[in-house]
A = this chain, B = another copy of it.
Amino acid sequence: MTDLAAVKAALKTQAVETPSWAYGNSGTRFKVFAQEGVPRTPQEKLDDAAQVHAVTGVAPTVALHIPWDKVEDYSALAKHAEDRGVRLGAINSNTFQDDAYRLGSICHPDAAVRRKAVDHLLECIDIMDATGSADLKLWFADGTNYPGQDDIRERQDRLAEGLAEVYARLGDGQRMLLEYKLFEPAFYTTDVPDWGTAYAHCLKLGDKAQVVVDTGHHAPGTNIEFIVATLLREGKLGAFDFNSRFYADDDLMVGSADPFQLFRIMYEVVRGGGFTSEVAFMLDQCHNIEAKIPAIIRSVMNVQEATAKSLLVDRSALAAAQASGDVLEANAVLMDAYNSDVRPLLREVREEMGLDPDPMGAYRRSGWAEKIVAERVGGEQAGWGA
């Protein structure tokens, strides 16, 4: 029997961080389709993020991406956020959009390029000091396209050396979150291709280094919830980058491609104590063809629904069935929670939080979409690279 009050209480404390870049334009290598009303400044991205939090109540922080969100005065930016009811979240570094990084950044064969990359990461920690952000999120586009292009092992040595320097700069209460990715934009090797590589580096670095699981960064057939369970058992799960995929790193709305997988992941989070720990839940998505703010609201709701279902699993019934080796019953207990329609429960939770039970409708009725289209005219729209 699950305790509904406890489930509701847990859902009310949920926090999903939204990424500033998802409010801007994005696309594929073939085309970026521009949308009207898209933010032109970091401040406008925060304004949009505040709308998401206003209607969902569980998206209180916004991840920044440097240099896309570079400003003169980070305290003012933090103030801008707080005035709108949100806070600044993780700082995401960018070591892939400078011409210097054609053959890598922190793993580049040329020491000067590595220096440039490490300096950028150190600058990101300076920004964290200014914004009060706790997390430095590192994703490296580093890798090679052709066998022989560079020495796989030396690149690991360079990576270890660069990470160590950055790690040493971390202050109290600051963490380094290391993301892995199977491929893209590098097509033969990536320098942190899997959780094992990220884990091995974090282990050597120390307690402040943790692994990020981006749900779109795995080979076909990879059991992501197994990785989540394992990293939690090892005390090394730092954060999620949520999105969903059918093929590669499609960066679709989380929960839109395989909602059952998202439920299984959230179940391992709940079961492993990750829901109440330091694990950060972030979105990292690209809304190439759909309206951006509503897509982010929907994504936050998808995470909520998967979380609600995972909290509804009858853990003692499950444990009993597992202990007795009753395969079908154990599976049935899990599926009972998944097959539940948790939307009424979430509507209640929202009402108890003083929110509109229907976030999508609330946003639509707010007039924000029309307002930004009307007002955000001129200037340069934000986008990847902007």
What is A's interface to B at a CB cutoff of 8 Å? 26-31, 33-34, 96-97, 99, 101-103, 109-110, 141, 145-153, 156-157, 182-185, 187-189, 193-197, 199-200, 203, 218-223, 225-227, 229-230, 232-234, 245-248, 250, 252-253, 256-261, 264, 268, 271-272, 288-291, 294-295, 298, 305, 318-319, 321-325, 327-328, 330-335, 338-341, 343, 360, 384-385
Contacts and interface: CB of A to CB of B under 8 A. Distances in A.
A378 B292 CA distance: 37
A258 B260 CA distance: 7
Given A31-B96, A184-B248, A230-B200, A189 B291 contact: no
B148 A334 contact: yes
Residue among A225, A250, A264, A331 with most chain B CB within 10 A: A331
A325 B289 CA distance: 10
Contacts of A226: 152, 189, 193
Residue among A246, A268, A272, A332 with most chain B CB within 10 A: A246
Contacts of A305: 339
A145 B229 contact: no
A191 to B, nearest CB: 9
26 contacts: A28-B184, A30-B184, A30-B384, A31-B101, A31-B385, A109-B325, A145-B289, A145-B290, A146-B252, A146-B290, A146-B330, A147-B334, A147-B335, A148-B318, A149-B331, A183-B247, A187-B246, A188-B257, A189-B223, A189-B226, A194-B195, A203-B203, A220-B220, A258-B258, A291-B327, A341-B341
Nearest to A245: B187
B156 A230 contact: yes
A137 to B, nearest CB: 16
List the 3 closest A-B pairs by CB distance, nearest first.
Answer: A196-B196, A148-B334, A219-B219
Given A250-B187, A260-B258, A152 B229 contact: yes
B322 A288 contact: no
A261 B256 CA distance: 11
A147 B185 contact: no
Contacts of A253: 146
A248 B305 CA distance: 29
A109 B323 contact: yes
Residue among A252, A261, A325 with most chain B CB within 10 A: A325
Given A27-B29, A30-B185, A325-B110, A150 B330 contact: yes
B331 A148 contact: yes
B31 A233 contact: no
A148 B189 contact: no
Given A156-B230, A289-B327, 18 more contacts: A27-B185, A34-B99, A109-B323, A146-B256, A148-B318, A148-B335, A149-B327, A150-B330, A153-B271, A184-B247, A188-B246, A188-B257, A193-B226, A196-B199, A197-B230, A219-B220, A220-B220, A248-B248
Given A103-B325, A156-B233, A196 B195 contact: yes
